[in-house]
A and B are shown apart, each in its own frame.
Chain A
Amino acid sequence: MLFNSWPFLIFFPIVTALYFLAPFKVRWLLLLVASCVFYMAFVPIYVLVLASTIIIDYFAAIQIEKNEGRKRSRWLLLSIIFTCLILFFFKYYDFFTWNVNEAAGLLHSDVTLSALHLILPIGLSFHTFQSLSYVIEVYRGNQKTERHFGIYALYVMFYPQLVAGPIERPQNMLHQFHEKHDFNYDEVISGLRLMAWGLFKKAVIADRLAQFVTPVYAQPSLFDGGVLLVATLFFSFQIYCDFSGYTDMARGAARVMGFKLMLNFDRPYSATSLSEFWRRWHISLSTWLRDYVYEPVAMGLRDRGMYGIVIALMVAFLVSGFWHGASWTFVAWGLFHGVGLSLEAVFAKQRKKLAKAMPTWLFNAIMLVLTFSFINFTYIFFRAKTIADAVLILRHISSWIFPVNQLFSTHIPNLFHGVTSVIASNQFNISCALIVFLVAAESLQARANIGERLKWSPWWVRWSAYQAGIIAIAFGGVWLGSRNFIYFQF
């Protein structure tokens, strides 16, 4: 079920009302059933895939807690292998067969593996990582096992964050399912406001930008570098509004019922370094990779100095690339980020010297532009269908920015003409205005909490703002065509 769909508009108020009306001791069951209904709206049978992950990790965690020494490690390993096997089977098996067949072709071998062409269970990577987080935390002694099977199942399946995160830690979520949340007017309003802002970002901004990005990236060879550059810039805001919009709706829906989900985005494009970007972008995944991949590798290789850190970063971002999708484009995207972060780590002292040598505002401005440009460069690989497409896009953009072959040409490329061959000029202008509005609104929110200000403003100001928001979503939203969330595919 999509958050931006009619069924959810019926599902959400019914589940929320029942949640507050139901006695406390059956609320977990109500939420679990609601989460099953939510998940089964996609491919009903896949609820069994989710059930297997839950069962494996529930019992493995108990064994980890019960045992000591090597037995604990064995149970952890077993749990990781089985949970990842499910992920491998559904997400990576076809990619694996494709690569084996390609390699066999190069070696003139007759080996051919058949692909399964399975539909990927929605949000599989998200709940796999959330479930793994539980067993790892139990193994590390940071979390006691949850003996209530229903509550543990709810931890993995809680519908607001089931299909696209945030990837929660058991320490933050499990205790919340044992606590009674009474109806709290302020929390409900605050949650609904967050949901509305998320829906605005998704329906009004992301889906509008997609109208430009999708056709351009579908056939990049048809467009010049200027159009491809605009499509890439638009994509950076599309993916941000799409994913952070989903997260806002998830956090808002949970907050209405009194649950607190972790912050997943914190104005990532205001970052002045790549490491800061990863502290602001998809925080639940980046902290997951930091704690469970980067840290163990870096800790194990710490005697090797900077080499150990670089290897740990590359491994973490290789995992991140694969996590996003079974394609070499995602792997390339992950590796570029790994290389970028490694360079930042290696040149940290020189960077500091540079910062001291120039005015702070100038240094920050230069670093912001460089960081945003690098992120956009990597997005080309993230969004392109193939590596060949990504290289073609890069070639077109670079020859558009640096037209070395046309140094003496008097012809000035008309960007606006190229752009309006994809969408109408007024649509393009609206898209640009929405990006400016987004940046301004989020900057304002960072300086002065708009929600808090609204709470204390006169009722007519507050309700006028809410009505304006609803009208903007209803009439400014793109409601036709595909409205899927980008991160659902992961």
Chain B
Amino acid sequence: MGALSDLLGGFTTALTPINLLYALIGVIVGTAVGVLPGIGPAMTVALLLPLTYGLDPTGAFIMFAGIYYGGMYGGSTTSILLNTPGESASVITAIEGNRMARSGRAAQALATAAIGSFVAGAIATALLALAAPKIVDVALSIGSQDHFAIIVLAFVATTTVLGASRIRGLASLGLGLTVGLVGIDHTTGEQRLTFGIPQLADGIDVVVVAVGLFAVGEALWVASHLRRSPLEMIPVGQPWMSREDWRRSVGPWLRGTALGFPFGAIPAGGAEIPTFLSYVTEKKLSRKPEEFGHGAIEGVAGPEAANNASAAGTLMPMLALGLPTTATAAVMLAAFQQYGIQPGPLLLKREPDLVWGLIASLFIGNALLLALNLPLAPAWAKLLRLPRPYLYAGILAFASLGAYSVNGSTIDLLILFALGCLGLMMRRYGLPMVPAIIGVILGPRADQELRRALQISDGDLSGLVNTPFSMTVYGLVLLLIIWPLLRRVLRPTGGSNESDP
């Protein structure tokens, strides 16, 4: 009860006209900057932080929450419309989202993303307000071995995205894993596959890989076929979500939230793995799994919810313990310090008004974003009416601008174009894109967590399975592998190709 009345107090702090105006400004500029691929929410916030310097702490944090959510949402918008994810958490959204857009369902994809983000954000923020200390305790007990177990589970789940040809799917996964290896190995400090180019030392960002393979590769592919295939416009269908769309979105929103929030709370959990797990879960549970790969609304609703819930989750160790476990949280920490506020385990005791005001402003920023973007979704969708040559030229310019603007370095552009050519070749030879992206996301993490776990156990392999959590996850993995085999043994008379659950 105490938390609830505190939260209401927070709303009274946050809900003044001037603070609402700050939130509105934050949402608008956050979205505007967040659409650039390569500029994720952390960078958006860092770049726009100076805008908030003149304000009082409450006003500043409200604008900040707006910028943050705006930046996140901006990344999803371009992901769906242009296949150029603005940040790593919306890479998975691009897979189905862009397919939906190209079959004339852009407005629905944007709407399910916006509403899903709102639902997930609201639930996660409520959990943040009510249960933070308890969840944080559990989250901290998650170690590298547990983390690695989840990644193994995710690797097993990649089999569902390999596509029709296993060989091609695995080749694509291998390509992704190789790209993921590039950079300094953080355990020993050795460089891998950098060929003496210092710009490669930090590795290749998954956003650059996604934009290169998805957007640039697609543009080249379309360009190489323009003469042969007729110039057809992308249809723009119904502007609003149908009842069917709603029915198919609700489940993924809730499951996405359930996956994303705890992940965000784990130090270094991140949003990429939960968005991917949400995607494969929805594909498994869907009554129309054949729609996946051609624009299934569940594949947008789930990952978008997971992404937003995870964002709220990352604030938990930050507000409850003062641990900035993500780049965004670290930037936020800097913002706190500007006002002479030291975040940490004592923050809630020292500055209750500020914390509850911040949590309330997360709700407000979230609601404003929905109010702003839902009516705009049909308008954005019209963008796709542009004739293809202009549309793809625009996408190329936009993708290049994004890659270049991060560091102002031409090498980043060359990397983007090289990946674009790789994307073209993969399309030419029928390699699916998704496993490559999953390889880039999971590979480096698997590498790091496995070695961390082994370092901590001093090389003892039992250190990988010595927690109840990791044992449970491996049990699940085993079940997933054995289940299809078992079914075949139990029902040897055929029907083993059924996909009914």
Q: Do A and B bind each other?
A: no
